[in-house]
Chain A
């Protein structure tokens, strides 16, 4: 019990003293996971929209595959990307292994199925004739998309939160393809693993608190946007 208390006290001291290491690691987590989530939204929302609206033969199969992807363990995504990017792998020539870019690619792979599935579900929840109705009412194509996105915003923002939450908290993929390099690819989760194995519990707790606080701040902002009344 004492160790936990000491850890918390020391953790708060690190946070409020403005520990440089802590803030640079937290900033990196935000950069890597934020970029991965943004890319996942760019790719996942259009695909989710298609899956939600279009009707084609393999649609159910693809939805099932996406659902499976939602449950993919990050460490498996990490292994796949590692095998692709490592020097002896097919994309080894790009020299991306053990870089932030490699981490963004792996996290993109983890977040995209979540974004697709949430988007598809929220689009399907809209009345099927809504787009036609909007067109009849005189909305252009872009305006129709924008209005649809507004109507589906509960699901779309849930997609951002689910995607970001999944990648900012994962450790397996970041460790495998980032290599947990000090000052380069060490993020909050991999730093927690390192500090735990070095028995620096205070730092591990401090990193854990910052991770939680960061996730909370972002989800809180998104939730406010999500719950705001549309007009």
Chain B
């Protein structure tokens, strides 16, 4: 049937067109995929830093903002070139397996427990962090990230410190990023654990106040790692190395320390050079 042949030809042309439309980006000079956490992204920090690196080096950085767990998994499968993450315990296995190399401390900030300003569970008056969590467990609602992110991992670790099984709580998991989770906690008059940067960035539109802060267990540590080019094909090692070096430059570290200071009257991130945990 000639019609069928005509259609076949048309189909082949379309297939070709599709292939042609998709072959474009092969010869791009330098592109790296940075898998990172939603907190570095939602706070706007990477919007500030990445364009400077791109302008200077001509390397395009594709920032994929996912939870730390997902970012590490992407790196472990060679689907990223560099990661910026904040869950040291979760990072360790990837370092041990050799998937991640060249780990460097980039910056720190801290987690805070936030909740309704009237603090219905009276968590703010608790003597320490475990006691505050116990109070929340007894008298409040808690909203969890539930997305295997660094913040989620820390939250689970904190419940364990307080000897509480989160499964038995009035606790809901959003499965979403920090910004969305804060909004949900605010609307539902619930408590949540957040990094300070995202909380400050969104504070004006949230009905949430800081309930617990300053505990050593709330320190939030950001490391950058290179995906090991010896273990994964296609990793742009040179560009990735240049990016990590850029993050650690004094000028960049200064930018991190000054990021949105004027707006909030305090820094959102402490650069590695001044951080309490020392260089890594």
Contacts and interface: CB of A to CB of B under 8 A. Distances in A.
Interface string B40-76: 0010100100000000000010111100000000000
B216 interface: no
Interface stretch (A59-67, A71-79, A87-95): A87-95
B33 interface: yes
Contact of B79 (A50, A86, A184, A196): A86
A64 to B, nearest CB: 22
Given A42-B17, A93-B234, A108-B18, A99 B25 contact: yes
B133 to A, nearest CB: 26
Given A179-B64, A181-B62, A197-B179, A104 B21 contact: yes
B262 to A, nearest CB: 18
B187 to A, nearest CB: 12
Interface in A39-69: 39, 42-43, 46-47, 49-50
Contacts, number: 96
A94 B176 CA distance: 30
A112 to B, nearest CB: 10
Interface residues of B, number: 46
A182 interface: yes
Nearest to B24: A101
Which residue among B18, B42, B201, B206 has the maximum number of chain A CB atoms within 10 Å of its CB? B18
B33 A197 contact: no
A199 B25 contact: no
Task: Classify the secondary structure of A's interface with B.
Answer: helix
A150 interface: no
B177 interface: yes
Contacts of B78: 87-88
B268 to A, nearest CB: 14
* 9 closest Cβ pairs, A-B complex: A197-B179, A42-B14, A199-B205, A46-B7, A101-B22, A88-B77, A87-B79, A199-B202, A98-B62
